[in-house]
Structure 1
Amino acid sequence: MLYVAILTIVDQELNTKFRPAHLSYLNDLYKQGKVVMAGPFTDKRGGMVIYKAESPEEARLLAEADPVVKEGARTLELREWSPLEFPLT
């Protein structure tokens, strides 16, 4: 299943401090097949990560272990996602 994490910045100083660790964490998960894609929003108030996990619990563990979440730089909203298959019939 796929899970979308919306990561909203709540502490810019902490975000700047932990962003390198955040990117490294996501890169490692990508190599393991646990992150499908990720990136910042153009308004610079946060970003989104799409996780691939076997359960909501696994997705939550992955998302909560992200350094920017763990250190309080960003809030986490996690939702299961079911993308449409195109073309629609």
Structure 2
Amino acid sequence: MYYVAMLTITDADLNAKIRPAHLDYINDLYKQGKVVMAGPFTDKKGGMVIYKASSEEEARELAEADPVIKEGARTLELREWGALEFPLG
């Protein structure tokens, strides 16, 4: 299953300080096959990570272990995502 983590910045200074650790963290998860895609929103108010996990609990554990969440620089909204497989029909 896929899970989308919306990461809204709540402390810009803290986020800037922790962002390198955040990028290392999601890059490591990508190499493990746990992150499918990730990136910032163009309005610079946060970003999104798409996790591939066997359960919501696993996805939540991965998302909550992200340094930007652990340190309180961003908030987390996690939702299960039913990705469509193309082509349809």
Q: TM-score range by the shorter chain?
A: over 0.9
Q: State the TM-score, normalizing by the size of structure 1.
A: 0.97
Superimposed CA distance per residue, residues 6-65 of structure 1 (whole angstroms, 9 cap, x where no aligned partner): 000000011001000000000000000000010000000000000000110000000000
Identity of aligned residues (%): 81
For residues 43 and 74 of structure 1, the distance between their equivalents in structure 2, rounded to whole angstroms, comes to: 15
Tell me the TM-score normalized by structure 2: 0.97
Q: String of CA shifts for 1:48-88, please: whole Å, max 9, x gaps.
A: 00000011000000000000000000000000001112222
Q: Write the letter of the residue equivalent to 2:43.
A: D
Letter in 2 for 1:5: A
Paired residue type of 2:67: P
Number of residue-to-residue matches in the alignment: 89
**Match of 1:83?**
83
How far apart are the structure 2 equivalents of 1:36 and 1:83? 12
Q: Give the secondary-structure state (helix, strand or coil) at the position aligned to 1:27.
A: helix
RMSD of aligned alpha carbons = 0.6
5+ residue gaps in structure 1? Answer: none
Aligned partner of 2:42 in structure 1 is 42
Report the counterpart of residue 6 of structure 1 in structure 2. 6
